[in-house]
Chain A
Amino acid sequence: MIIKKILFVALLFYVFPLSAEASESSGILKGKVIDAKTWEPIPYVYLHLEEINRTITTDRNGEFRFSNVPSGTITLSAHRIGYMNQTRRISITDQEENEITIELNPSVITGSTVEVVGQQEGVRGSNLEHASTKILGTELRRNLGTTLSETLESQPGFDSRSMGPAPGRPVIRGLGDYRVLILQDGERSGDASATSADHSVSIDPISANEIEIARGPAALVYGSNAIGGVINVVRDQIPTSVPNSITGSATLQGSSVNSGATAAGSLLIPYNNLAFNIDVNGRTGSDFNTPVGRIENSDLQSTNNAAGISYIKPWGYAGIAGSMYISNYGIPPDPLGGHPSGVNIEMEKFQLDGRSEVVFSDRFFKNVELNASLKNYYHVEWERADVAGTEFGIVTTTAGIKANHRGFAFFEEGIVGVWGEYQDFAVRGSRSPDSNSFTGSLFTVQEADFGPLHIEVGARFDHNIARPKEDRPNSAIGNIRQRSFSALSSSASAIYNLGRGFYTGAIVMHSYRAPALEELFSEGPHLAAYSYEIGNPDLDPERGLGKEIFLRYRTGRTAASIAAYHNGFSNYLYARDTGRPNDRIATLNDYQFVGVEAEIYGFESSIEHQFTPNLLVDAGISYTIGERNVDDDERNITGFTGSTAPLPMIPPLKASLGFRYAINSLTFNTKLRYASEQSRLGEFETNTSGYTLLDAGVQYRLDAGGVFHTFTFGVQNIFNETYRDHLSRIKDIFPEPGRNFNLLYRVYF
């Protein structure tokens, strides 16, 4: 097996770039970013070529250079605090230096509105509206939290499933776990965060350059199960461009609620045709405080470091990055749930990523990208000082090829690809057999424009094999044996430009999710999750049909959207709390993996309006209902009389109202957050009261000597309100953290 892996990696990084020798022709995109009012150069502008996912930051002179851009039209977005975001379409010509000047309009407030420049005639902007969104710059710094889910929580429709402050995982529109795919630089995280609430996400948000959220057809490039969405944390560990000079950033963050401190730094170093990237961070914090005392055993320490190198030439680039994530954190105690002292989790992940891309100037394909990734993940749950509870080991090998192509028939452009994953999965401390899985996928996403109508369609075919290392036909949970699944998933979106800034559209997604290994084969105690997990070897795949309609309004001063959605599942897979103590570990309830018919539906809306050049107001609201069908057997056993019952872990109605006021380089912000009571309860859930919280903060930026400083000070939960989150597995024992003073300093150089 190892020999095969070696051969594969050699193929990726040796044969592929050499084969590109014949195609050394591509375009160069270079230029300068200047202030539209003063014509002064603007340093540290974050530039992103969207179709080919290349990023670079302007140097101290405001200059930039992308050295290997395929010919054709490409979308460039520019982001910088103090200026309006800008998106423009640019034509790239082969073997030429395509030089442009980007003029950014100063804005004392950076909102989510985007200035669109150089619009193609006839298309009228609908091709720049997607189902996907991104978070970066000011917004990312303002919301930066301890975990990825805390960072995203302020987005409409986003919530955090938690089990103490450390192990949070994003939930989108009530969909979580495997239905939300978490990526880092386009690669799956390779951790166990989707399997259980006590497992944290092995990506620290402090090093994120931007966070992309993909929905609809674009999500199919990464997986067929992400009906909730794909969250891609962009760290650019493998550089895609050689900067003009050494650039970097350093970050310090402190928070009072857990005496937390975080430090991070990144460097991008050019050397001839090579670019080196170093990205390090460390985080430490003690127990979190609440208005009624501290959350016992909620401390955390983590470090997430990476080093990457790329060889960049006109034919494309080849790069490799190694990274490590080490984290120790506590799961708070649950005297009634089986562990009165809590559980300590030690987690480590070592990852090697390789990516190579070749640009073709005169062929059907604009560029072809090969990528491979190896991840070795391990975590152990310490129930007492000398007693290891459950240990997880996951070794994941993935590889893929994807190619962006030029238009054919009525499609303007598209992407086709093939992807494979082999995963070795082992759990110690339970009866679950060691097992492995193989997934092979073919996918395509195509885009077309018909005047004001922009259409994206995507399809993905997956074949999955789940194989225990030994068959157990007479296992207590059923006949444990190899299972195979195949299915086609598909998605389509249409966005129509109604004119005057209005867009309307719809997204449909037919998702597919093969049962995960632990859903099929697990049998054993999981103390940190307060559960005894019982798999079901006979589970069928989960199929979902997601529908969404939306209306958006976007002008220079206003960005607004409203969306209604419905996700129907023919076989929604989840671990159901049976309420029955296990007959081997009597302190834990049996959690049985089941598949049920279910539907999750709701709406969300957000608006942001800049009333004056100095004042911006934003508001958002989201509401989700989740329910499952109750069959006759269950009605007979439980005496339940209804035909549907609420699903567990569904967020209540949430709303927010925020104000931002700017004076020169200072921006003040406040946000009122409201959550209603959640009384639609899944099995053995308890009622959660509503709450209202107030946050406030101030941001300051300073250009000095070619160095750009940003200071962000915030207070969350100003009135130290005692509140509980419905998606917290420990809400009956501990409330959420209390008042928190948070300071973030970041310098770009």
Chain B
Amino acid sequence: MNTFTNSTIRFTALIVLSALIFISCDNTVSGDENDHADAFGFVIEQNNAEILRFQNNQYTLNPDGAWDEYVTTVDGEEVLTLSTAVIPDMSRGMTPSVFVRWLDRDGNKFDLPEEADGGEYRLEFDWAKPNVLSGECTDEARVQDINQIRPVNLEQHGSDGSWGFHFRADHVGTDEIVFRLQHIDHDDFVSRPLRVHVAHEDHPSITEDGIWMHERNKCRTR
């Protein structure tokens, strides 16, 4: 075997070895399994009656006619409203448990395996307004920032599972919430923003400035 062939073989062995190492890399990405139903909308229910329905990219409030208390008109638009009429427990400022149920393409309700029970799905949400004061936490600062900070919050407790939660009113005002259905580490469904309003009422637990003085309304700063 001549020198040329020897050199070629050695060189070839080197590069083929390199190629082998590289080729063993396969596509690290695999698409989602297509074995679950897709959510195309949702309802929020209390006592098995719908407070609202989101379908075809539109919200319908009180579709069953069972929850007039949740709806008022603000600036000419019907909005979901928290008031003492829907929050009987003013010591905590929260509604009773309400539950999300998902809708298929035809608007039929269906269940998804919730993370709380070992499934892969959970509910997440984003509010438009921040939940913190920009400066030191004082009563004056809260009143001053009342239009900038979030008037309403959402609480999930262990007994609520992945689909239950409570609306909590903190002070008078309006905010928007987006509901997201999270599948493992990505969004499977994202709603349009829902306007939620906290009403101003004459009530011993609500100050003149509109702050709901319940035990969970804690002052937060950055």
Which residues from chain A sit less than 8 Å from chain B, CB to CB? Answer: 2, 5-6, 9-10, 13-14, 17-18, 21, 24, 273, 309, 311, 313, 318, 320, 322, 338, 350, 352, 354, 374, 376, 378, 383, 386-395, 424, 426-434, 470, 472, 476, 525, 581, 583-588
Q: How far is the CA of A383 from the CA of B186 in the complex (A)?
A: 9
A433 touches B31 (CB 8 A): yes
The answer, yes or no, to whether B20 is at the interface (CB within 8 Å) is: yes
Question: Can you list 13 residue pairs at the A/B interface with Cβ under 8 Å?
Answer: A2-B23, A9-B23, A13-B15, A14-B16, A273-B7, A376-B25, A378-B28, A387-B185, A387-B186, A387-B187, A395-B26, A426-B27, A432-B31
The residue on A at minimum CB distance from B179 is A586
The answer, yes or no, to whether B140 is at the interface (CB within 8 Å) is: no
CB-CB under 8 A from A309, the residues of chain B are 15
Smallest beta-carbon distance A517→chain B, Å: 12
Indicate whether A429 sits within 8 Å of B4 (C-beta atoms), given known contacts A5-B23, A9-B19, A320-B15.
Answer: no
A585 touches B190 (CB 8 A): yes
Indicate whether A424 sits within 8 Å of B4 (C-beta atoms), given known contacts A9-B16, A14-B12, A585-B189.
Answer: no
Smallest beta-carbon distance B213→chain A, Å: 31
Q: Give the 5 A-B CB pairs with smallest separation, nearest first.
A: A393-B29, A586-B192, A426-B29, A320-B15, A429-B186
Q: How far is the CA of A313 from the CA of B192 in the complex (A)?
A: 67
CB-CB under 8 A from B28, the residues of chain A are 376, 378, 393
Q: How far is the CA of A426 from the CA of B27 in the complex (A)?
A: 8
The residue on B at minimum CB distance from A4 is B23
Smallest beta-carbon distance A315→chain B, Å: 8
A2 touches B19 (CB 8 A): no
Smallest beta-carbon distance A579→chain B, Å: 12
CB-CB under 8 A from A389, the residues of chain B are 186-187
A18 touches B5 (CB 8 A): yes
A374 touches B22 (CB 8 A): yes
Indicate whether A313 sits within 8 Å of B4 (C-beta atoms), given known contacts A428-B29, A472-B34.
Answer: yes
Listed residue (B16, B27, B34, B40) with the most chain A CB atoms within 10 angstroms of its CB: B27
A-B contact count (CB 8 A): 136
The 8 Å CB contact of A6, one of B5, B19, B185, is B19
The residue on A at minimum CB distance from B190 is A585
CB-CB under 8 A from A378, the residues of chain B are 28-29
The 8 Å CB contact of B27, one of A5, A24, A424, A588, is A424
A587 touches B192 (CB 8 A): yes
Indicate whether A586 sits within 8 Å of B191 (C-beta atoms), given known contacts A2-B23, A14-B16, A374-B19.
Answer: yes
A393 touches B186 (CB 8 A): no
Smallest beta-carbon distance A567→chain B, Å: 35
CB-CB under 8 A from A21, the residues of chain B are 4-5
Q: How far is the CA of A569 from the CA of B190 in the complex (A)?
A: 37
The residue on B at minimum CB distance from A433 is B31
A10 touches B11 (CB 8 A): no
Q: How far is the CA of A2 from the CA of B11 in the complex (A)?
A: 21
Listed residue (B18, B23, B56, B191) with the most chain A CB atoms within 10 angstroms of its CB: B23
B16 touches A13 (CB 8 A): yes
The answer, yes or no, to whether B116 is at the interface (CB within 8 Å) is: no
The residue on B at minimum CB distance from A426 is B29
The residue on A at minimum CB distance from B124 is A387
Smallest beta-carbon distance B51→chain A, Å: 19
Q: How far is the CA of A426 from the CA of B192 in the complex (A)?
A: 29
B31 touches A583 (CB 8 A): no
From residue 72 to 86 of chain B, which have CB atoms closer than 8 A to chain A?
Answer: none
A583 touches B30 (CB 8 A): no
The residue on B at minimum CB distance from A470 is B34
Indicate whether A584 sits within 8 Å of B185 (C-beta atoms), given known contacts A311-B7, A374-B22.
Answer: no
The answer, yes or no, to whether B145 is at the interface (CB within 8 Å) is: no
The residue on B at minimum CB distance from A314 is B4
Smallest beta-carbon distance B170→chain A, Å: 22
Q: How far is the CA of A387 from the CA of B28 in the complex (A)?
A: 18
CB-CB under 8 A from A424, the residues of chain B are 26-27
Indicate whether A311 sits within 8 Å of B188 (C-beta atoms), given known contacts A391-B29, A584-B40, A587-B178.
Answer: no
Indicate whether A322 sits within 8 Å of B22 (C-beta atoms), given known contacts A426-B27, A581-B57.
Answer: yes
Knowing that A2-B23, A6-B20, A586-B190 touch, tell me 13 more A-B residue pairs with CB under 8 angstroms: A10-B12, A14-B16, A18-B5, A309-B15, A320-B15, A374-B23, A376-B27, A387-B187, A390-B186, A427-B31, A428-B30, A434-B31, A585-B190
The answer, yes or no, to whether B39 is at the interface (CB within 8 Å) is: yes
CB-CB under 8 A from A386, the residues of chain B are 185
B11 touches A352 (CB 8 A): no
B27-66 near A? 1/0 per residue, CB < 8 Å? 1111110100011110000000000000011000000000
CB-CB under 8 A from A352, the residues of chain B are 18-19, 22-23
Indicate whether A433 sits within 8 Å of B27 (C-beta atoms), given known contacts A352-B18, A586-B57.
Answer: no
Indicate whether A584 sits within 8 Å of B18 (C-beta atoms), given known contacts A13-B12, A426-B27.
Answer: no
Indicate whether A431 sits within 8 Å of B16 (C-beta atoms), given known contacts A374-B23, A388-B186, A587-B190.
Answer: no
Q: How far is the CA of A434 from the CA of B28 in the complex (A)?
A: 12
The answer, yes or no, to whether B24 is at the interface (CB within 8 Å) is: yes
CB-CB under 8 A from B15, the residues of chain A are 9, 13, 309, 318, 320, 354
Q: How far is the CA of A24 from the CA of B4 in the complex (A)?
A: 11
The answer, yes or no, to whether B159 is at the interface (CB within 8 Å) is: no
The 8 Å CB contact of A350, one of B7, B19, B25, B40, is B25
Listed residue (B29, B56, B188) with the most chain A CB atoms within 10 angstroms of its CB: B29
The residue on B at minimum CB distance from A588 is B190
CB-CB under 8 A from A388, the residues of chain B are 185-186
CB-CB under 8 A from A587, the residues of chain B are 178, 190, 192
Q: How far is the CA of A588 from the CA of B191 in the complex (A)?
A: 10
